[in-house]
Amino acid sequence: MALKKTEWIWHNGKMIPWDEAQIHVLSHVVSYGSSVFEGIRCYETKNGPAAFRLCEHMQRLLHSGHIYRMKSPYTIEQLCSAAVEIVRENRLSSCYIRPLMIRGYGDVNVNPLSNPIEVYLACWEWGAYLGAEALEQGVDVCVSSWARLAPNTLPSIAKAGANYMNSQLIRMEALANGYAEGIALDINGYVSEGSGENIFVVRDGAVHTPPLASSVLPGITRSSVMTLCEDLGIPIREQMIPREMLYIADEVFFTGTAAEITPLRSVDRITVGIGRRGPVTKRLQDEFFAILSGAKPDRHNWLTPVGAPVGSPVASAR
């Protein structure tokens, strides 16, 4: 997936050309991984481009920063407006938006506090994350030999760059062994999440997903799917999931901004359910994409039109 460059990147309140969005090699983030970031999709709807749960993503960015004592120089309203502006200025209809808050150049020291905090927002066109056919056919995944972050090591509620060193180990191991993705267990051996997705298990008509205490990122898509289950009258429970539940589930799917709702057709080469997208996964996908395309009303106020002024109230994400 080659990055398709756009014209502008937002940096500390100004639009700068894509190629000028550079940092010094001794910026704190390079040695010490001190960044927090987001990933937001902007969809083409019948009313024009619209960002999905923009303010909830920006709220999570601020929370990630707060955990790491990084105070954002910008308010949530300023960040939401900047995201709208960057999509509009780059004249994109559907895209992926990447807000980044980093500790910049100043001193080289584990103590980060004397380095400036910088905010960047970029966006670009991005297609299906796990392959074009994944949404329908499902993907083949494995359980990783790498565990997800232990709770008293790196906080998984923060979407921090450093967490993705663990994700990279999971993803590279999976790819090396011929799988599309890996699922990590938490340090107690319960199912946690994929390297870049939350996970859901469907059994006997009920949907289950690991609780935040299983070292998962509080995914915005995860919270949206939980809401859709409630809307559709599908029982939804947050509970610890033993590994073997994955093998005997009727359906398993990933959720994420990039992965959207992607079914799993096998885990560790053991077929899951019917070996392709199951009926509950399809029902949730249909509802999700109907709202995102504007085919169904946006009853939860999930979409921020890129053509209109921003500043909608922030609903708290789970």
Give the active site residues: 159
Q: Which one of 58, 174, 217, 272 is in contact with ligand PPE (CB under 6 A)?
A: 217
* Residue (256 or 278) nearer to ligand PPE, CB: 256
* Residue (115 or 143) nearer to ligand PPE, CB: 143
Residue that the structure tokens 């010094």 belong to? 24
Tell me if 208 sits within 8 A of 239, measured CB to CB.
yes
Gap between the Cα atoms of 60 and 318, Å rounded:
10
Under rule CB under 6 A, residue 182 binds ligand PPE = no
- 70 contact partners, CB below 8 Å, separation of at least 6: 34, 36, 101, 103, 117
Minimum distance from residue 168 beta carbon to ligand PPE (Å): 10
The residue type found at 221 is: T
Under rule CB under 6 A, residue 193 binds ligand PPE = yes
Under rule CB under 6 A, residue 256 binds ligand PPE = yes
Gap between the Cα atoms of 292 and 54, Å rounded:
13
Minimum distance from residue 156 beta carbon to ligand PPE (Å): 8
Gap between the Cα atoms of 9 and 290, Å rounded:
30
- For ligand PPE, the binding residues in 21-80 under the rule CB under 6 A are 39
* Residue (113 or 175) nearer to ligand PPE, CB: 175
Gap between the Cα atoms of 115 and 88, Å rounded:
31
Q: Which one of 21, 23, 169, 258 is in contact with ligand PPE (CB under 6 A)?
A: 258
Q: Which one of 45, 115, 144, 257 is in contact with ligand PPE (CB under 6 A)?
A: 257
Gap between the Cα atoms of 104 and 118, Å rounded:
6
Name the segment binding ligand PPE (CB under 6 A); options: 42-50, 139-147, 195-203, 305-313: 195-203
Tell me if 13 sits within 8 A of 32, measured CB to CB.
no
The residue type found at 107 is: D
Tell me if 193 sits within 8 A of 183, measured CB to CB.
yes
Name the segment binding ligand PPE (CB under 6 A); options: 7-15, 65-73, 76-84, 191-199: 191-199
Q: Can you read off the two tokens belonging to residue 81? A: 């407006």
* Residue (138 or 219) nearer to ligand PPE, CB: 219
Q: How many CA atoms lie within 13 A of 139 on its CB side?
A: 28
Minimum distance from residue 179 beta carbon to ligand PPE (Å): 16
Minimum distance from residue 113 beta carbon to ligand PPE (Å): 27
User: What is the DSSP code (8-state) at residue 213?
Assistant: G
* Residue (45 or 255) nearer to ligand PPE, CB: 255
Minimum distance from residue 165 beta carbon to ligand PPE (Å): 12
- Count of residues binding ligand PPE (CB under 6 A)? 16
Cβ count near 98 (within 10 Å): 18
Under rule CB under 6 A, residue 196 binds ligand PPE = yes
**Residue number with the smallest Cβ distance to ligand PPE:** 39
Tell me if 144 sits within 8 A of 173, measured CB to CB.
yes
Gap between the Cα atoms of 104 and 188, Å rounded:
36
Q: Which one of 219, 263, 273, 278 is in contact with ligand PPE (CB under 6 A)?
A: 219
Q: What angle do CA 63, 168, 111 make, to 5 degrees?
A: 50
Q: Which one of 198, 215, 266, 281 is in contact with ligand PPE (CB under 6 A)?
A: 198
* Residue (90 or 167) nearer to ligand PPE, CB: 167
Residues near ligand PPE (CB under 6 A): 39, 167, 193, 196-198, 217, 219-222, 255-259
